[in-house]
Structures are given as structure tokens and as C-alpha cells.
Amino acid sequence: MTRRWRADSNGILDGWQIDYYDNIIGKNVLKQVWMEGVRDENRTTEVRRGHQEAFATNINILMDRFNQTHGVHTVQKMYGCEWNDETGETNGFDAYGYDGEDFLSLDLKEMRYISPVQQALATIQKWNDSKSLIENQRQYFATICIEWLKKYLQFAENSLKKPVSPQVSLLQKDSSSPVLCHATGFYPSGVRISWLKNGQDHYEDVDIGELVPNEDGTFQKTSTLGTNEWKQNQYICVVEHQSKTINTILTEKDIKTNNGNSNDKV
């Protein structure tokens, strides 16, 4: 049986996609204008192409280790670094996943690879025994990655630091379902969603969802109101973002339902 594979890779800076590798044209593609001229894109294409080839080999190896002969399987790698421009603190990460589960990762404090699964033992032993690999990783995450991060931030300063206001909608699956206050399209990611009941803070039957990134580098978040008392009281969804604060009064006519219409349509 012939195994077919497809690989995707993306570069992310503070939640914004800055580039990706296009499998069809076999070339790295920039997503931000300010990235032009920042680095040698031919070299970046070569590196990304090498990643594609390595992943094709890796997925075959892992399928054999997990005794899998068919089906759809996924190998993921996430690596990068973080820099706190206020404290100067830095951190890095290099982690692999297989079929949505942790496979192995680099412990930067101990400078060795670790894994929660026995199928990765052969790999971590091989990598940990390679002094040159470990030293290269030490230099990359301590110096090289941080230098590139600072360089990207310098070029992207005007683009990344411009706040984008959220768009707020009230959503409901049907008349008996909870009401969702949905904020999307905002940047940066810091946002607070809360509810007021008759002018007072309201916390009961409220579920705050996780922050989710959008494809364009902005973010979205949802707060769910589980009570039906809003029909007899005044409820307000308050979305606080550094760009603005948006107060949305919960009324039946402003709720959007699954069919795209408001509840006042018959």
C-alpha cells in the first residue's frame, strides 16, 4: 500500500501568521508586507522543504512504531521562543505530537529530550546522545531564536502594535438554548467579557470560553449565559478591550440564530 502524505508549516509572531510553505509551488510565501527583505527567502524555502521531507520519513517511522498500517495520521512540531521585553526573561520550546497526543519535547532546563510514551524512547536516546545536536539547540533557543524574534518585532512594530477592535454578536441556537456573547476580530489578545444584570455584575450561570486565534492573526472569545431570566430582566454583555469597551444589551430582536436571522423574524 502506498502511503500518501501532506505537510503544512506556518510562521507565527504574536498570534499573526507571517509566512507559510506552499506545497503546490514548493516555495515559502510571506503573509506580511513588512517581512519583505528581512531574511533570505530562498534559504527559508530550503529549510522548510527539508522539514517536509523529514516529516514524510517521520510519519512512516511512527506508523511502524505504533503498529499502524493504514488510516490518517498526523505528526506535529511546534518550536519557537518567547521574550519578555519588560523583564528580559526568555524561554523556548521544541515539541512534537502524534495523532493529537504529546510525543516528545525538549526540556530546556536539563537540555535533554523527554517523552511520555515508550514509542519515542529510541528517538530521545538518539537525540540526547548527540552532543552536537544538544549544543545546537542550546545556542538556538538561548541566542539565535531570541535575536530573530527581536528583529521581527522591530520590523513589525507599526503593524503588530495597532489595536483592532472586536466585533460583538449575540448568538443562540434556538429559543430554549443559552445565549452566547461572541467577540471576534480583535487584536491584541487581551479581552474581558462579563455580564451585567439590571446594572449589577452577574456571575451565575456564566461560562467563559477559551481564547481562539483566527486565521488573520486576530482572536475570538465567547461567554455563554445559561439562564433564561434575561427575558424578564435587563442583561448587558460587556466586552472590554484596549481599543474600546462595547456594551451590548441583550434583547430578543438582536439575537442571531442558526439560520442567520434574528429572533424577531417569523
Residue-wise pLDDT for 178-197, tens only, equals: 999 999 999 888 899 999 99
Looking at the chain, the whole-number percentage of residues with pLDDT higher than 90 is 60
Let me know if residue 5 belongs to a domain: no
Pair (248, 148) in one structural domain: no
Mean pLDDT score of the chain = 89
pLDDT at site 24: 85
Helix, strand or coil, per DSSP, at residue 204: coil
User: How high is the pLDDT of residue 3?
Assistant: 61
pLDDT over threshold 80, residue 264: no
pLDDT of residue 136: 96
Domain tally for the chain?
2
The CATH code of the domain that includes 38 is: 3.30.500.10
The confidence score (pLDDT) of residue 187 equals 86
- Is the pLDDT at 7 greater than 80? The verdict is no
Least confident stretch, 37-41, 158-162, 204-208, 214-218: 158-162
Q: Which residues contact 215 (CB under 8 A, 6 or more apart)?
A: 17
Residue that is last in its domain, among 131, 160, 189: 160
3-state secondary structure of 255: strand
The C-alpha cell that represents 175 in the structure block: 429559543
Q: What is the pTM of this model?
A: 0.63
- What integer pLDDT is reported at residue 258 of this predicted model? 67
- Quickly state the pLDDT bin for 265 (edges 50, 70, 90): very low
pLDDT at 101 over 70: yes
Domain boundary pick from 108, 128, 160: 160
pLDDT the model gives residue 117:
96
* pLDDT reported for residue 2: 58
228 belongs to a structural domain:
yes
Task: Looking at the structure, tell me whether residues 93 and 30 fall in a common domain.
Answer: yes
Verify that 33 and 146 share a domain, yes or no: yes
Contacts of 70-76 spanning 24+ positions with Cβ under 8 A: 70/1, 73/98, 73/99, 74/98, 74/99, 74/100, 75/103
Report CA dihedral (138, 139, 142, 147) to the nearest 10 degrees: -150
Residue 104 CA neighbour count, 13 Å, CB half: 16
- Pairwise pLDDT comparison (161 vs 247), residue with the higher score: 247
Domain that holds residue 184: 167-256
Picking from 55, 62, 60, 70, the residue whose alpha carbon sits closest to that of residue 98 is 62
3-state DSSP call for residue 156?
helix
Contact 168, 237 (CB under 8 A): yes
Same domain membership, residue 74 and residue 99: yes
- 213 upstream amide cis, omega within 30 of 0: no
Q: Taking 80 as the threshold, does the pLDDT of residue 129 lie above it? A: yes
- Inter-residue contact 14 to 83 (CB < 8 Å): no
Q: What's the pLDDT tens digit per position in 35-45?
A: 988 888 899 99
Contacts 24+ apart (CB under 8 A), 34-39: 34/155, 34/156, 34/158, 34/159, 35/155, 38/151, 38/152, 38/155
- 130 and 174 both lie in a single domain: no
Mean per-residue pLDDT, 45-63: 89
Boundary (domain end) residue, out of 136, 160, 184: 160
pLDDT of 260 > 70? The answer is no
180 plus 60 within the same structural domain: no
Residue 266 scores a pLDDT above 50? no
Residues 6+ apart with CB under 8 A from 156: 13, 16, 18, 32, 34
129 and 226 fall within a common domain? no
